[in-house]
Amino acid sequence: MNYDVVVTCAVTGAGDTTGRSPHVPVTPKEIADAAIEAAKAGAAIAHIHARDLETGQGSRDPKLFKEIVDRVRDSGTDVVINLTAGMGGDWISDRANPSMPGSGTDMIGPEERLAHVAECQPEICSMDCGTLNFSDTDMIYISTPPTLRKMASMVQEWGVKPEMEVFDLGHIRFAKQMVVEGLIDAPPMFQLCLGIPWGADQDVETMVAMKSQLPSEASWASFGISRGQMPMAAAAVALGGNVRVGLEDNIYLDRGVLATNGQLVTRAVEIIERMGARAVSPQEARNKLKLRGADA
Confidence check: pLDDT of 216 > 90? yes
Rounded CA separation 73/258 (Å): 28
pLDDT band for 18, please (50, 70, 90 cuts): very high
- How far lies 214's CA from each of 56, 85, 172, 182, in Å? 36, 22, 7, 16
pLDDT digits (tens, 9 = 90+) for 161-209: 999 999 999 999 999 999 999 999 999 999 999 999 999 999 999 999 9
Considering the chain, what percentage of its residues have pLDDT values greater than 90?
93
pLDDT digits (tens, 9 = 90+) for 88-100: 999 999 888 888 8
Overall average pLDDT of the 74-78 stretch: 97
Rounded CA separation 161/242 (Å): 16
Confidence check: pLDDT of 131 > 90? yes
Give me the DSSP letters along 104-116. Answer: T-EE--HHHHTHH
Overall average pLDDT of the 129-146 stretch: 94
Lowest-pLDDT choice from 100-109, 166-175, 232-241, 257-266 = 100-109
pLDDT band for 241, please (50, 70, 90 cuts): very high
pLDDT band for 135, please (50, 70, 90 cuts): confident
pLDDT band for 61, please (50, 70, 90 cuts): very high
Instruction: Report the amino acid identity of residue 174.
Output: F
Overall average pLDDT of the 104-131 stretch: 96
Confidence check: pLDDT of 82 > 90? yes
Q: Half-sphere exposure of residue 176, counting CA atoms within 13 Å on the CB side?
A: 15
Rounded CA separation 216/230 (Å): 26
pLDDT of the residue at 5:
98
pLDDT band for 134, please (50, 70, 90 cuts): confident
What are the φ and ψ backbone dihedral angles of 71, each rounded to 5 degrees? -65, -40
Give all domains of the chain, ordered by start, each with its CATH number: 4-289 (3.20.20.70)
> How much is the pTM?
0.96
